[in-house]
């Protein structure tokens, strides 16, 4: 997990990456762009945006876009994700579950498009009693 020793400057840079990613969002239906910046433990950062579809269930959130890009690059360990929306909205349950698979102790920073941080919490607090790989152990 990212410790509180992660500098404000590092968090600000990740917030900016997430804001930039939100500008690429495809949101013709909700008009609610979301950007994410997921940092792997090796320092690699993956940006993601939400991509809507006229068949709503096919829509992919920014957080999962970033996660899937990272995993497809072979990354499996993450320490922080920044999520930005117009109003500081929180990740959906599906995204929380997808992230929990790889990083239950992930630091989740939720900000708005002006860079104001609304929440800075561990994923475990957003997905209480999350179901992960350890849940399948006998």
Domain range enclosing 132: 8-136
Look at residue 2 and tell me if it is in a domain: no
Look at residue 117 and tell me if it is in a domain: yes
Give the pLDDT mean for 13-23. Answer: 98
Domain count, the chain: 1
List the CATH number of the domain containing 93: 3.40.140.10
Residue 5 has pLDDT above 60, yes or no: no
Catalytic annotation, pick one of 63, 77, 125, 137: 63
Look at residue 74 and tell me if it is in a domain: yes
Look at residue 28 and tell me if it is in a domain: yes
| Torsion sign (Cα): 86, 52, 65, 22 | negative
pLDDT in tens, 32-79: 999 999 999 999 999 999 999 999 999 999 999 999 999 999 999 999
**pLDDT confidence of residue 31:** 98
**pLDDT confidence of residue 8:** 87
DSSP per position, 42-60: TS-EEEEE-B--SSGGG-B
How far apart (Å, rounded) are the C-alpha atoms in residues 18 and 92? Answer: 17
Pairing of strands 45-49, 78-85: unpaired
Active site residue 63: yes
**pLDDT confidence of residue 2:** 44
How far apart (Å, rounded) are the C-alpha atoms in residues 19 and 3? Answer: 23
């Amino acid at each position: 997990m990212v410790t509180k020793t992660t500098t404000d400057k590092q968090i600000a840079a990740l917030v900016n990456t997430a804001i930039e990613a939100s500008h690429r969002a495809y949101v013709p239906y909700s008009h609610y762009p979301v950007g994410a910046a997921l940092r792997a433990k090796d320092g690699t950062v993956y940006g993601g945006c939400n991509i809507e579809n006229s068949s709503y269930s096919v829509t992919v959130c920014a957080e999962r876009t970033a996660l899937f890009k990272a995993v497809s690059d072979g990354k499996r360990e993450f320490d922080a994700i920044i999520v930005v929306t117009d109003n500081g909205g929180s990740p959906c349950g599906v995204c929380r579950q997808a992230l929990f698979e790889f990083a239950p102790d992930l630091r989740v920073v939720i900000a708005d498009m002006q860079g104001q941080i609304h929440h800075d919490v561990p994923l475990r607090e957003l997905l209480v009693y999350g179901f992960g790989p350890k849940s399948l152990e006998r």
